[in-house]
Structure 1
Amino acid sequence: MTDKTTTAKAHTNIALIKYWGKKDKILNLPTTSSLSLTLDEFYTETMVTAGKEDTLLINNMMQDPTRIHNFLDFLREEIEDFGPLTVVSKNTVPTAAGLASSASSFAALTAAVARYQNWDLSLTDLSRLARRGSGSATRSFFPGFAVWHEGHDNQSSFAEALPATDLPIALVVCEIAGTVKKVSSSDGMLRAMTSPKYSEWVEQSHVQFTAMQEAIANQDLHKIGELAEENALAMHELNITATDRRFTYFNQMTLDVLDFVKALRAEGFLAYATIDAGPNVKIITNQNQAETIKDKLQEKFRKLRLQIATPGPGISFED
């Protein structure tokens, strides 16, 4: 069986209602429910095969396998024991730069191991397992819009797809920095939770989570964008108001692009910003305006790397 391989492909997701803080570090239970859009253009393909020890290669480069090894050990204890694995990933997402690389990576890894071991698990089951590697990975098993229920224990914290929609949403992704961020998401969340504004953000996020589902059902792109921008900017305000080592993921280019988004709206464009744990800005718009917005950004910020992203599929396998 040493030559057996299994490959899974998972797409990254962008949270429109964010996950930013844990109420249970062991189970990776979030303080809020979140809602995301899976993206077609960014993904991770992960192949697993037998090895002499747990090893990890990303884009043909050997990586520190500690985080992957710990997650595989969790799967060995949770489901069934299995031997060492060689994990080979092809990642189209800049790692640890705030473009949700860990979401697609851990979703693909979880799915690949489950298929490799012939585990008969539902997508819901897989989302619970992947949560222990990366919280946002729970949502990358599903196409289009997905929700991750915060839950109160392992069983109740899982992700599921929202009803399919042909909403013509698009994101203009502004890759301001593709380097590894100085403050990891895990550390950033811990610091953010010390902000005096944190409990207020949690309460508001619960309201926005419900409102976002209504906006999607109503196919109201303006409301979707408005809610996403409010939620994201309030999340980043937690970082700069933290009492424990306040910080920011923003740089000057982030601020300049945010100002440009406001200017686009003033011109009558559908344009709202969302930002994960990093400096990169994603502009929510519709598919008719995305190319024009991209062109305007390129004209204003000539060195900015830009890409248009559209709704993507759920988990898939190469047999």
Structure 2
Amino acid sequence: MPSTATAHTNIALIKYWGKKNTRLNLPTTSSISLTLDQFYTKTTVTPNSQADQLFINGNATDATRVHNFLNNLRQYLGDFEPLTVTSNNHVPTSAGLASSASAFAALTAATARELNFNLPLTTLSRLARRGSGSASRSFYGHFAIWHEGIDDTSSFAESLNAPAMPIALVVAEVSDAAKKVGSTEGMRRAVTSPDYQDWLRESAKQLVDMKQAIQHSDIEKIGAIAEKNALSMHALNLTARQKPFTYFTCDTQRILSIVSDLRHQGILAFATLDAGPNVKIITTLDSAKLVEAALLSELPALHVQTATSGSGIIYD
């Protein structure tokens, strides 16, 4: 029988941007994320007798990355027959909305279920990390922390067991096109920035402050720390010694300006961005509509959507 799992994507509030071991996908920093209810991947795996196959939203796709990842799972779980992977992705792909996080989390969970492995979430997160680092965090609802670790065993994610709070994320989708500089290449360039070591030290301090803000349900402090962390991360891209670049577009800059204006008007709004031009605005459920209206008043063609805290892995 086929096995199906659904994983929601997550947005990093304290970013992962750089690898100290590319083979194991070990990050240079620990990170904290919020799982989102509106963006998810539903994946079904079915054994077949020929070769690993991948279908995304009904279309056959090059399965090289998935095949390599499944071979990693075979090394850990033992050899298993080829799989047909059918994935319905409700996240724009390669546009900085962490589509790979939900995709590899769902694939890992569905494969383990198909093989009758009842693995703890920490182990699943460690396995999924090999396909996409951010996938390690998508096994958990609400807030999660991914420990950078020092080796394959110690680099995993777990829930922060945070209190419920009326946090919301307004997603301003500037583009759903695949980005020109992929995340892996972007990180490779960013670590050449002369400011990279300073960013690592500051990120470690921000991680401690973020955990405290989350436990106190202080959404304003959560937003302020996340915005500073994200903008300093993107500054690394501009100061890279090897092929400096940016994910920002003119619309990205306009949205950042709108967010700043909203704060000056007394509306809680802070921006964060992953590897792409799309901006996510951290706010409260009560203020989300105000943020949406402000964005659309200046950029009427912009696609906006409000997400709230999402759930962890779901099995069908």
Question: What are the superposed Cα offsets for residues 96-136 of structure 1, whole Å, 9 maximum, x if unpaired?
Answer: 10000000000000000000000121000000000000000
**Distance across 2 between alignment mates of 1:144 and 1:130:** 18
Unaligned runs of 5+ in 1: none
Q: Residue 178 of structure 2: SS of its match in structure 1?
A: coil
Residue in 2 that maps onto 1:104 = 102
How far 1:291 moved relative to its partner? 1.1
**Distance across 2 between alignment mates of 1:25 and 1:108:** 22
**Distance across 2 between alignment mates of 1:63 and 1:234:** 35
**Distance across 1 between alignment mates of 2:246 and 2:169:** 23
Out of 176, 179, 188, the position equivalent to 1:178 is 176
Residue in 2 that maps onto 1:26 = 23
**Distance across 2 between alignment mates of 1:98 and 1:296:** 22
Q: Residue 192 of structure 2: SS of its match in structure 1?
A: coil
Matched residue count: 315
Residue in 2 that maps onto 1:16 = 13
* Structure 2 counterpart of 1:227, one-letter code: I
**Distance across 2 between alignment mates of 1:91 and 1:195:** 34
Q: Residue 112 of structure 1: SS of its match in structure 2?
A: helix
Unaligned runs of 5+ in 2: none
How far 1:164 moved relative to its partner? 3.5
Residues 60-99 of structure 1: matches in 2 within 5 Å? 60-99=58-97
Out of 44, 47, 67, the position equivalent to 1:47 is 44
Residue in 1 that maps onto 2:206 = 208
Q: Residue 296 of structure 1: SS of its match in structure 2?
A: helix
* Structure 2 counterpart of 1:176, one-letter code: V
How far 1:140 moved relative to its partner? 0.1
**Distance across 1 between alignment mates of 2:277 and 2:294:** 20
Q: Residue 180 of structure 1: SS of its match in structure 2?
A: coil
- Percent identical residues: 58
- Whether 1:310 aligns to 2:303 is no
**Distance across 2 between alignment mates of 1:293 and 1:105:** 29
* Structure 2 counterpart of 1:272, one-letter code: F
Question: What are the superposed Cα offsets for residues 18-73 of structure 1, whole Å, 9 maximum, x if unpaired?
Answer: 00000011111100000000000000000000122111111111111000000001
Give the structure-1-normalised TM-score.
0.98
How far 1:11 moved relative to its partner? 0.1
Matched-pair contact (CA < 8 Å) for 2:258–2:294? no
Question: What are the superposed Cα offsets for residues 167-220 of structure 1, whole Å, 9 maximum, x if unpaired?
Answer: 110000000000100000000000000000000000000000010000011111
* Structure 1 counterpart of 2:226, one-letter code: A
**Distance across 2 between alignment mates of 1:160 and 1:199:** 26
Residue in 1 that maps onto 2:196 = 198
RMSD: 0.6
Residue in 2 that maps onto 1:128 = 126
